[in-house]
């Protein structure tokens, strides 16, 4: 039997968007709907995420480190500090999601959270959303519809609920294929040492000075 904590107070619970005493709503009893005002908290969190990532210097540093840690380091960005701050922010959003789940649906803490896979679904949602707040909202709706529809298909149509996981896997494979399309593998010729960004900059400077010198020589000869 699952262990449960004491239920939270009624004043701390989030109100449902569809009253459970409603007889029929969209063809179904109101008690089957679990949508609550935590949806507005999620939308506000998405807005904060978008502002933080695209309108602040910290967001620029996070995006720079995500694109290339080496390039960010040469640009003077502290990669270690940015990674730690990113994990702290992600942990805050995850904690907010858990609080909304308890306040809006479960109303108590159970040991099922230790085996819950919602966190892995969140990774897939973020990948499918391509780091866009609007994309993340749409992909979250898609995954939520898949989970809700999976249980309904199993009870009403006799279709296995595992079909949902197959669809999620196909989505992840399509995301991975999209990333692989844009990924270019650079092979270093045998015996050649890979160049660093500093070496590239030095080579460019030498080439520029050489071109300038040749141009001056041509002018002097003329």
Per-domain boundaries in the chain = 14-114, 117-184
CB-based contacts of 61: which residues, under 8 Å, 6+ apart?
72, 77, 82
The answer to whether 175 and 127 are in contact (CB under 8 A) is: yes
Question: For residues 44 and 29, which has the higher predicted lDDT (pLDDT)?
Answer: 44
Per the listing, tokens 């003077």 go with: 76
Residue 107 DSSP label: S
Q: What is the pLDDT of residue 220?
A: 52
Q: What is the pLDDT of residue 50?
A: 95
**Do you know the residue count of the chain?**
222
Burial level of 32, CB count in 10 A (0-12/13-18/19+)? Answer: exposed
Structure tokens at 144: 């939520």
Q: What is the pLDDT of residue 53?
A: 94
pLDDT score of 42 more than 80: yes
Confidence class for position 48, pLDDT limits 50, 70, 90: very high
């Amino acid at each position: 039997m699952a262990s449960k904590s004491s239920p939270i107070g009624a004043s701390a619970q989030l109100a449902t968007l569809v009253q459970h005493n409603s007889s029929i709503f969209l063809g179904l009893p109101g008690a089957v709907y679990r949508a609550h005002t935590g949806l507005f908290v999620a939308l506000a969190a998405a807005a904060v995420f978008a502002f933080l990532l695209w309108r602040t210097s910290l967001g620029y540093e996070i995006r720079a480190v995500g694109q290339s840690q080496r390039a960010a380091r040469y640009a003077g960005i502290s990669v270690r500090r940015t990674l730690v701050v990113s994990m702290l922010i992600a942990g805050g959003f995850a904690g907010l999601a858990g609080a909304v789940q308890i306040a809006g649906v479960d109303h108590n803490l159970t040991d099922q959270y230790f085996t819950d896979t919602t966190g892995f679904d969140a990774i897939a949602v973020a990948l499918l959303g391509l780091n866009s707040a609007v994309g993340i909202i749409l992909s979250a709706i898609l995954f939520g519809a898949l989970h809700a529809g999976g249980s309904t298909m199993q009870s009403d149509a006799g279709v296995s609920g595992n079909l949902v996981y197959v669809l999620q896997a196909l989505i992840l494979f399509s995301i991975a294929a999209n990333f692989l399309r844009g990924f270019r593998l650079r092979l270093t010729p045998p015996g050649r040492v890979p160049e660093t960004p500093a070496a590239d900059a030095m080579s460019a400077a030498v080439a520029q000075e050489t071109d300038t010198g040749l141009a001056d020589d041509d002018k002097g000869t003329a």
